[in-house]
Structure 1
Amino acid sequence: MNKYVCILITCLFGSSVWLTAASNQPPNVVIIYGDDVGYGDVGAYGSTMIPTPNIDQLAQEGLRFTDGHCAAATCTPSRYSLLTGVHGFRHGVAILPPNAPLSIPTDILTLPKLFKQAGYETAVIGKWHLGIGAEGTPVDWNGAVKPGPLELGFDHSFLLPSTNDRVPCVYLDGHYVLNLDPENPLYVGKSPREVNRPGSTRYPDGRKDKAAMTYYRSTHGHNNSVINGIGRIGFMAGGKAALWDDETMADVFVDQAKQYIAAHKDQPFFLYFASQDVHVPRAPHPRFQGKTELGYRGDAMVQFDWTTGEIMKALEAHGLSENTIVIFSSDNGPVYDDGYADGTRINKSLGELDRGHDGSGVYRGGKYQIYEGGTRVPFIVRWPARIQPGSSDALVNQIDLIASFAALLGLDLAEDAAPDSRNTLDAFLGKDTQGLPFMLEEAPNDARALRVGQWKYITATAKSWVGPAEPERLYNLADDPSEQNNLVSTHPEKARAMALQLQELMAADGLRQ
């Protein structure tokens, strides 16, 4: 680090809580973010059918939260909330299609911008799925692809630009598609007609050419352009030299993370590492295939465990392990087949388990659902310099990381910055065993829930493709963690009070107001 920057940070934050006797540097921060990884997919949280020794070691060396949550039961809103401190429903943020514009305004505070205020270098590596480009302007994948992460405060960006079941199936390095051949330009659209341009490679349409899906078959929209024998959502043409290899994706992201850590070992950095595992289409490297009895989903989880271990080894190799905060979590709860015949099997007699494995643990539901299994996810915080290993029942949420890191670094948040993010630093450090006094949860189809202690109130929801219409619900999670006994009729006053509180919180400008 430049000595003048060091002096500036010491002057500004010399009394901040991150200073330790062992170091006068602020901690590095690494977020290892899983995709569709459920509470029960990790050994430290009760999994018996998926070996996760590296994540389990992280849990043994850190603080394992038993009531840790993402902000939403689907991917894009959770990632939006993590990086902005704003609930996705306030701005209509939902799961994004291919070619969606950037969903985060470039003029608001973000987590990487916060770290940059404190003199950090910042990076995002892995899955993005928050949109790229400007509203109303088609993305030119053959030129500078922006605005994106670099306009939101990240100094370095290496991306899976959307998600691995969507086109374009290429890596985005900074503003440019990696290895793109200008003689074979890349086009992305919603129909074959939009993308079929002279001189660009055409890919099979899985709806018409099912035999092209040689890796495994896929359905309900995951069968448009077939890339690497796998059907995708959306259509693309061209970019053949730039195509990713699904089976080596974890290796590519790990190599990028190792390079970044090595290059920035002498200065404080923030690394947001967003894995594609265990999202569909699951295509773990052959060295992980067959490591479980749960098909590619279980094997992909083993691969994600390896990924976690490699990042931890890289930190250790550069002497960074002691003063690096590592946060391990997931963007939402588990989902099983989800459109691809990848070997994941659902046994209805076991309550929609995968051959006896329940990715949500004892909790009901999973991805797309407002029940606890949709947002209660593995949540581990490791910082050997400051956090005592153990387990915490404190109620915590990823949306509160911005306010909590602001407190850690001695920075003040503007009144309109990250309005839904609250300072729960003491809970993250293991000093507060209660955590949040209340918390919002969201899922598709306007499903909303309020947690107050162990009480949970869920609004009435309309019928959706993941379930039937349901009335309002009230659960006492202390007695009923699986949300089986609706107490609205026996506790009507509690239900009315929580319904009113939820309505007021949703209508407010933010939870800090």
Structure 2
Amino acid sequence: MRLNQLLLLLATFLVISGCDKYTAEKQPNIVIIFLDDSGYSDFTPFGQQHFKTPNVQQLAKEGVVFKNFYVPQAVCSASRSALISGCYPGRTKVFGAHGPNGRGLETNFPTIGEVFQKAGYKTAIFGKWHCGDQPETRPHNRGFDESCGLMYSNDMWKHHPENPDYWGQWPIHFWENGQVVIEELEASHQKMLTQWYTEHAVNFINKNNEKPFLIYLPHSMPHVPLFCSKAFDGKSGKGLYADVMLELDWSVGEINKALKQNKLDKNTIVIFSSDNGPWISYGNHAGTTPFREAKGTTFDGGTRSATIIKYPAALKGNTQSEKALMSIDILPTLCHVSGVPLPNSVIDGKNVWDIILGKANATNPHEYYAFTNNKNFEAVLSGDGKWKLHLPHSYRTMTALEGRDGMPGKYDYSAEIGLSLFDMVNDPYETINVIDAHPEIASTLISLAEQHKKKFFSEN
């Protein structure tokens, strides 16, 4: 009898000692993986069949796939600033893509790093910042304990395919913790970016496995110019873009593995998404999307991003959601789940945790989501994601001159769309204008659009 009791106590000890360092009652760790210009269909869970992405597929098996996740503007700086501040571009006035020495996100808009750092989290960013390239707007002064990477896009350099003389005025630095460690980025460095960012993230997890942390991992790839390390060069057999995606898939696997090895994965929220849709003018160096148009437009090909959220402590894995969400909701939702106070400043995002949980009666707290293209306010989506209204606007679309092997093709900037309503349930590709068939819905969305314009663009 005593032997059996002893064995039972021993078994209980082994079970307890093997449990994660954190439980669901404690603050979760957070990892946000944000790709650059990735197409909606670039990974297996979202339709890609040309090459295998097993680590993203595994993340989907362990998490929830969100099929209707949006960004408010399909361009680098605007999209990233919206994610880390919880604010629309119309509020922050961060539109488009900021170049070298760009001001970026003003310091009166707290970043996710500042919010969580203030609450006691260890914070880090490894990757492309693109939210300000002046001393006070760089990441080491915006709430991140550790940082490394580029201040802006990797094509803003002396080897730009169209404007080398212009971009060559500013060498791209590689920064680490507020210091320039590589004075001028060369091709040999670009090949290592994905690996360097990943290694820094894994090391950060290993060092901070006893306290809550937040990692923001905004990769430079697959934004052109495309580069991958030697280990992935030619690995896909499907071209350079596929090789780059395989390395990004490897990166996801390394993060997932580090969390599991440190017994942190059950109490870590992992968010996987992209800043916008593919840059299709680059042809075979761009990703794919089934939706209309792509990056740089307010159609879903630009603003709908393939997204996975994993949090085993609370979310059932291997599930999908059709609910509409937007990146501005990430900050307030993470604050809610983590018990971290919201910033004192006004933000536009809302807590959508009940929707992420998949609660049967959960409704989106937003009446609508708004979309801009640079400084132009162009579209709104109903909060339930069922209807999308485009205000009259011009947009760019591809001509027959598609890019090839790193050289961009030519856009046609003369395309126009009039006032249009789309049924996003039956016509997610925005092909049939049903405004005459649903005047009441159109009227409601027009009114919401007018309110948004008055609130954010009244000075224009």
The TM-score range, normalised by the shorter chain, is 0.7 to 0.9
Q: Which residue of 1 aligns with 2:183?
A: 242
**Does 2:322 match 1:393?**
yes
Q: What is the number of residues matched between the two proteins?
A: 408
Q: Which residue of 2 aligns with 1:351?
A: none
Aligned to 1:326: 270
2:146 maps to what in 1? 156
- The reply on whether 1:472 has 2:416 as its aligned counterpart is no
Which residue number in structure 2 is paired with residue 220 of structure 1? 162
CA-to-partner distance for each residue in 1:230-279, whole Å, 9 max, x for gaps?
Answer: xxx34236989634411111111111112211111111000001111110
Indicate conservation of the 8 Å contact 1:447/1:460, yes or no.
no
Secondary structure of the corresponding residue to residue 270 of structure 2: strand
Distance, in Å, in 1 between the alignment partners of 2:354 and 2:224 is 36
Matched AA of 1:385: A
In 1, Cα distance between equivalents of 2:230 and 2:257: 22
Q: Is the 8 A contact 1:84 1:402 kept in 2?
A: yes
**For residues 48 and 237 of structure 1, what CA distance do their matches in structure 2 show?**
38
Q: Does 1:266 align with 2:210?
A: yes
Name the amino acid aligned to 2:369: M
Q: Look up the equivalent residue of 1:400 and give its one-letter code.
A: D
Contact 2:422 2:433 in 1 (8 A): yes
**Structure 2 counterparts to residues 426-505 of structure 1, below 5 A:** 426-431=354-359, 434-435=363-364, 436-444=366-374, 446-452=376-382, 453=384, 454-462=386-394, 464=396, 465=411, 467=413, 468-505=415-452
Q: Aligned residue for 2:227? A: 283
Task: Give aligned-pair identity as a percent.
Answer: 29
CA distance in 1, matches of 2:439, 2:275: 33
1:379 corresponds to: 307
Aligned to 2:32: 31
By how many angstroms is 1:434 displaced? 4.6
Following the alignment from structure 1 to structure 2, what is the Cα–Cα distance between the partners of residues 42 and 315?
A: 22
The letter for the 1-side match of 2:334 is F
Q: CA deviation at 1:462?
A: 2.9
User: Which residue type is aligned with residue 388 of structure 1?
Assistant: K
Counterpart of 2:255? 311
| 8 Å contact from structure 2 (residues 76, 97) kept in 1 | no
Aligned equivalent of 2:73: 72
Q: Which moved more, 1:106-115 or 1:25-34?
A: 106-115
Alignment CA distance shift 1:157-1:401 (3 Å): same
Cα shift readout 1:334-378 (whole Å, capped 9, x = no counterpart): 12344xxxx717xxxxxxxx7xxx7213x2121111111111111
2:233 alignment partner, SS class: coil
Q: Is the 8 A contact 1:64 1:392 kept in 2?
A: yes
- Could you say which residue in structure 1 is the equivalent of 2:284? 344
Structure 1 regions of 5+ residues with no counterpart? 1-19, 134-144, 168-204, 207-217, 226-232, 346-353
Structure 2: any 5+ residue segments left out of the alignment? Answer: 1-20, 174-180, 397-410
Cα–Cα, structure 1 residues 265 and 238, in superposed 2: closer, same or farther, change >3 Å? closer
Aligned-pair CA distance for 1:397: 1.1
- Residue 58 of structure 2 aligns to a residue whose secondary structure is helix
SS at match of 2:417: coil
Q: How many Å separate the matches in 2 of 1:96 and 1:246?
A: 20
Structure 1 CA distance, aligned partners of 2:449 and 2:425?
20
Q: Which amino acid aligns with 1:219?
A: P
Q: In 2, Cα distance between the equivalents of 1:234 and 1:495? A: 48
Q: What's the counterpart of residue 257 of structure 1? A: 201
- Summarize the Cα distance change of 1:414–1:83 in structure 2 as closer, same or farther, 3 Å threshold: closer
Query: Which structure has the highest helix share of the two?
Result: 2
Equivalent residue, structure 2, for 1:170? none
TM-score between both structures, scaled by the size of structure 2: 0.82
| Contact map agreement 1:50 1:301 (CA 8 A) in 2 | no
State the superposition RMSD in angstroms.
Answer: 2.7
